[in-house]
A = this chain, B = another copy of it.
C-alpha cells in the first residue's frame, strides 16, 4: 500500500541542488513569494513535483519562530454547550503551548449584530493569525468577517455560520439535517400511536433554531402526516419559561405523544413532563449532551439527544486555523462535524 521509502527524506537543499538554485529561491517558490523569474519558478516547481517533496513542518515551524495567536469569539452567559467548547479549549493548554500557540477567549453578545460586528472589527488590528467566531448571520457581521479576512486573518465560523461571508471554513453541523433527524426519530419512535406533537424552540430568529424547525417540519409533513404538529412555542432557552409553556400544552392536550425541544431549557421541559407524570408515554427528543441530558437519557425521560461533539468542534477549530495559518491542506473529512444520535446505550 505504501512504499517503505528507504532513502532518507529529501530536504530543501536537495531540491535546490536539483533545480540549480539556492535554498532561498526554493523557499520563495514554495511560498509563492514574488521576485523569482518565471523560468526559475518552473524549474523549481518541476524539481518539487518530480520528488513529490514535502517540506518538514517541524523545521518550518521552528525557523519562523513567531508564536501564533488565535482568538475565539464566544457568547457571554451560561449556555452549557458553549461552556463545554471553552472547557475543551482549556484542556488543550499543554498541546497548544507545546506548539507555541495561544488562544484568547473573547466573550461578547453574539446575539446583537452590532456588538458582535464591533468586537470583530477590534480584532482586525490585533494581529491575530486566526479567529473562530460563533457568528450571527447578519449583514454587519458579514462585513466584519470579510474585513478580518481582507486583513489577512484566517476566519472560521463556529457552531453557527455566515455562509455569505468569505470565512475560510465553517465548523459545525447542518442544522436542517439535524431537524430532519429529530423529526424522523420522533415519528419512528411514536410508531403507530395516534396523537399530537409539541415543539418548543428558544427563538425562531436564531438561524440554527430556525433551520432545525424547518427540517423537522419537512419530515413530519412528508412522512408522518397522521401526526398533528402543535403550533411552536418559544421558551427563550430558559428552564422556567420552558417548563411553564410545556405544562400548559400538556394540560391542554392530553393526546400529546411526542415532544421536540429545539434549543436549550431541556431541564425545564423535563420537569413539566415528569410533574405531569407523562415522561414514559411521550417520546421526548432534545439537543446536546450535558450533565442534565445525560441524566435524563439514563432515567428514560429523554429518549434521544441529538448532539454535536463540542470537544471535536473545539479541536477542529484550532486545527483548521492552524492549517490555514501554515498554508497546509486541511483534512476535510477529519474536520467535519457529525450529527450525533445519542441514546442511553451509546452515551460516550
Known: A9-B97, A192-B193. A88 touches B333 (CB 8 A): yes
A56-B193 in contact given A341-B341, A341-B346 (Cβ < 8 Å): no
A4 proximity list for chain B (CB < 8 A): 102, 104
User: When the two chains form their complex, are residues A345 and B219 in contact, meaning their CB atoms are under 8 A apart?
Assistant: yes
Cβ–Cβ < 8 Å partners of A89 in chain B: 1-2
Residues of chain B contacted by A88 (CB below 8 angstroms): 333
Interface size on A, residues (CB 8 A): 68
Residue A92 lies at the interface, judged by CB distance under 8 Å to chain B: yes
Chain B residues, CB < 8 A from A1: 86, 89-90, 104-105
Q: A334 within 8 Å of B by Cβ? A: yes
CB–CB B188/A58 < 8 A: no
Q: Nearest 8 pairs between A and B by C-beta?
A: A191-B191, A1-B105, A58-B61, A341-B341, A180-B345, A339-B346, A58-B58, A181-B345
| A interface residues with partner B (beta carbon < 8 Å) | 1-2, 4-5, 8-9, 52, 54-59, 61-62, 67, 86, 88-95, 97-100, 102-105, 177-178, 180-181, 183-185, 188-189, 191-193, 215, 219, 303, 309, 311-312, 315, 328-329, 331, 333-334, 336, 338-346, 348
